[in-house]
Amino acid sequence: MRTPSSGRVILLNGASSSGKSTLARRLQDTLDIPFLLLSGDLLIEARSLPGRRDTEGPHPWVGQMRPRFFDGFHRCIPAMAAAGNDLIVEHVVEFAGWRAQLDELLSGFDVFWVAVHCDLAEIDRREAARGDRTPGEGEHGPYDLHVDTTAGVTDDLVRTVVDSWKDARR
């Protein structure tokens, strides 16, 4: 429900380790107005979810809490924007249903979707270096812009996102 004081949303979607976090931080440094960063990873890193209690098998929260966690995460985006916050949202939209839910929840808001791509070999290298990821894919369009971070998040790439976002607002 866009009002003159509603925040704007730049939503970065791509596979795990595709460069979304780096791009999000660089956008925050480059945009001429402050944008808050929202990310499921940030909530997990803040220990909002319980830690693992066993050493084998899937994390106990996967089947029970994960759907509720992401439903809540999706719902917090329009709440933060409705409060007037400009947002950079970093996400792996794993399912077409998640994209549909986000489109519905964010209808009426100024949302700019960015598809963050990276060569699979580079994603594999990054995930191996991180050691805390399993391959993921988020490719449920449409997008306002596609970027490729295989060669890294360069100044030119950041400027392309900022300029494209500004041009789309005119």
For the question of residue 124 being annotated catalytic, the response is: no
Number of Cβ within 10 Å of residue 83's Cβ equals 10
Q: Which letter does DSSP use for residue 46 in this model?
A: T
Q: Which letter does DSSP use for residue 83 in this model?
A: T
The single residue of 41, 110, 124, 148 carrying the catalytic annotation is 41
Number of Cβ within 10 Å of residue 60's Cβ equals 12
Q: For residue 117, what are the β-bridge partners?
A: 148
Tell me the C-alpha distance between 145 and 21, whole Å. Answer: 17
Q: Point out the residues that are catalytic.
A: 41
